[in-house]
Amino acid sequence: MSGAGGVSSGPVGVAVVGAGVISAEYLRTLSRFPDVRLLAVADLDQERAATAARAHGIPLHGDVPTVLTAPDVELVVNLTVPAAHAGVAAAALRAGKHVYGEKPLTPTPVEAEKLIADASERGLLLGGAPDTFLGAGLQSALRAVRAGHIGTPVAATTAVQSLGPESWHPDPAFFYQPGAGPLFDLGPYYLTALVALFGPVSRVAATAARARARRTVGSGARAGQSFPVDVPTHVSALLAFSSGASANATFSFDSALPRIRFEVTGTEGTLAVPDPNTFGGPLRLRPNGSDAWHELPVHGRTDGRGLGVLDMARAIRAGAGRITPDTQSTHRASGALALHVLQTMTAITESAARSTFTPLATQVVPPAPLPDDWDPTAATLTGT
C-alpha cells in the first residue's frame, strides 16, 4: 500500500499514538475489526509502546516520527493527553495521515478549527471521540425518540458526579489541567449524545467551582503524591438548542454520592437514556399517565471504543482516496461534531466566568443514525 492518499481497497492501516490506560480498550476493539489493520503503536515511553504492540501482535512500535513515516499507516488514532492532541494531530496531517483523536479534539476551538482547515486542504479526514453514541444504547435511544415514543422532545436532565479519578488512575494529574476536569473529560459523552438527540446547541449559561486547590494520587507508584487542581471541578450548565429544546447538565469531581443520570422528556413521556460513557443499555420509557418505567429493546453493537475509527475507515475507502466535503460528513464521529462539542464546553466555561448567557456562533448537522444492519465485525472493504 502507498499511504493515505493512494489506497483504495482493503483494510485501512491504523497506528495508535499514546499507549496509556485508554489505549488497551481501543487496541482490543480495533483488533477485532477486519476493515482496519493495526500496524503501529507509538508512545513517549517506548517500552510501553513495545508492550502494547506485543500484546496485540502489532508489527511496529517506537516514537511518533517512526510511526508517522510508516508508509502503510493511513489513519492515526491520537490517544495522547489533551495538551498534546493538537500537536500530534497536526504532525500526522503533515505526514499525510487521516486522524481520529480522543476527546477533547484539542484544548481550544481555535486549534481545532486549524486542524479541520488543514485536513480539508490536504484532502484528509479528521474525526474525534467520543464514539459511544454509535453504541447500541444511544442508537436505540435515538430510534425511540424518532419513533415518537416520547412525542416531541422538550428537555433533558443529565448529571455525572463522583469524587474524581485519582482514587483509581495511577497518574491522574492531567485530569485537573486545562483541557480536562469533569467538563472536558466527561462532558463530551453527554454533550455529544444531546447534540445527536436535539441537534446543535445555540447558547449556554453556567456556574463553576473548584472544591480544593490540590488533590492526592490514590493508587499506583505515585500514591500519596499531591498535585495542583487548575480547572473547575463542579460545573452546572443550562443549554438551549436550535431546535427549541433545552437541557440542564451537572459535571462534578466533588461528589461523595456517585451519580449518572440522563433523562429526556417529551410531550408524551420521559426516556431514561443509558450512561453515554458506555455502549449498551438499559433503555427505559415512562409514558405520560404511567406510574412505572417500561424497558425498551436495545439493538446494535456494544464492541467498545473504536466504532468511530471503523466508521471513519469505511468512509475513507468510500472516498476511494479522494476525500471531498461530502466525504467529510459521511463519518459520524466527525471533526465538525467534535468541534461543536468543544465550542459548547468552551462557551460553558466562558459563561461561568462572566455570569451571562454565551451564544455559539457555529452550528453542526447531527450525525446520521447507523443502519440497522451495520456490523463492525463483517469485512466490507474490497480486498479485505
> Does the structure show a pLDDT above 70 at 141?
yes
pLDDT tier at 361, thresholds 50, 70, 90: confident
Across 91-110, average pLDDT: 97
Tell me what pLDDT residue 111 has.
97
Tell me what pLDDT residue 76 has.
98
pLDDT tier at 319, thresholds 50, 70, 90: confident
CATH label of the domain that carries residue 74: 3.40.50.720
> Does the structure show a pLDDT above 60 at 5?
no
Question: Per-residue pLDDT tens for 193-210?
Answer: 999 999 999 999 999 999
- Nearest partner of 125 among 101, 98, 90, judged by Cα: 98
Q: Is residue 97 part of a domain?
A: yes
pLDDT tier at 114, thresholds 50, 70, 90: very high
> Does the structure show a pLDDT above 50 at 366?
yes
Q: Give yes or no: residues 20 and 94 share one domain.
A: yes
* Proportion of the chain above pLDDT 90, given as a percent: 90
Answer yes or no: are the C-beta atoms of 132 and 106 closer than 8 Å: no
Tell me what pLDDT residue 324 has.
57
Mean residue pLDDT of the chain comes to: 94
Tell me what pLDDT residue 2 has.
37
Q: Give yes or no: residues 115 and 214 share one domain.
A: no
Q: Is residue 362 part of a domain?
A: no
Rounded to 5°, the CA angle 341-14-56 comes to 110
- The cell for 4 is 493515505
Is the backbone peptide bond immediately before 282 cis, with ω within 30 degrees of 0? yes
Q: Give yes or no: residues 106 and 249 share one domain.
A: no
Tell me what pLDDT residue 317 has.
92
Domain boundary among the residues 252, 278, 296 is at 296
Tell me what pLDDT residue 7 has.
63
Q: Give yes or no: residues 123 and 32 share one domain.
A: yes
Q: Give yes or no: residues 54 and 87 share one domain.
A: yes
Answer yes or no: are the C-beta atoms of 314 and 380 closer than 8 Å: yes
Its domain, for residue 22, covers 12-131+305-332
Q: What is the largest CA-CA distance in the chain?
A: 62
* Reported pTM: 0.94
* Proportion of the chain above pLDDT 70, given as a percent: 95
Q: Give yes or no: residues 86 and 109 share one domain.
A: yes
Answer yes or no: are the C-beta atoms of 156 and 245 closer than 8 Å: yes
Pairing of strands 12-17, 75-78: parallel
Q: Is residue 374 part of a domain?
A: no
DSSP conformation class of 26 = H
pLDDT tier at 1, thresholds 50, 70, 90: very low
pLDDT tier at 362, thresholds 50, 70, 90: confident
- The cell for 89 is 494531530
Q: Is residue 165 part of a domain?
A: yes
Q: Give yes or no: residues 313 and 278 share one domain.
A: no
Q: Is residue 364 part of a domain?
A: no
Q: Give yes or no: residues 153 and 276 share one domain.
A: yes
Q: Give yes or no: residues 201 and 236 share one domain.
A: yes
**How far is 83 from 86, CA to CA, in rounded Å?**
7
How many domains are there within the chain? 2
Domain boundary among the residues 271, 296, 321 is at 296
Q: Give yes or no: residues 127 and 163 share one domain.
A: no
Q: Give yes or no: residues 112 and 146 share one domain.
A: no
CATH label of the domain that carries residue 171: 3.30.360.10
> Does the structure show a pLDDT above 70 at 349?
yes
Q: Give yes or no: residues 148 and 233 share one domain.
A: yes
**How far is 93 from 107, CA to CA, in rounded Å?**
18
Q: Is residue 378 part of a domain?
A: no
pLDDT tier at 375, thresholds 50, 70, 90: very high
Q: Is residue 140 part of a domain?
A: yes
Q: Is residue 96 part of a domain?
A: yes
Question: Per-residue pLDDT tens for 213-260?
Answer: 999 999 988 999 999 999 999 999 999 999 999 999 999 999 999 999
Across 360-381, average pLDDT: 92
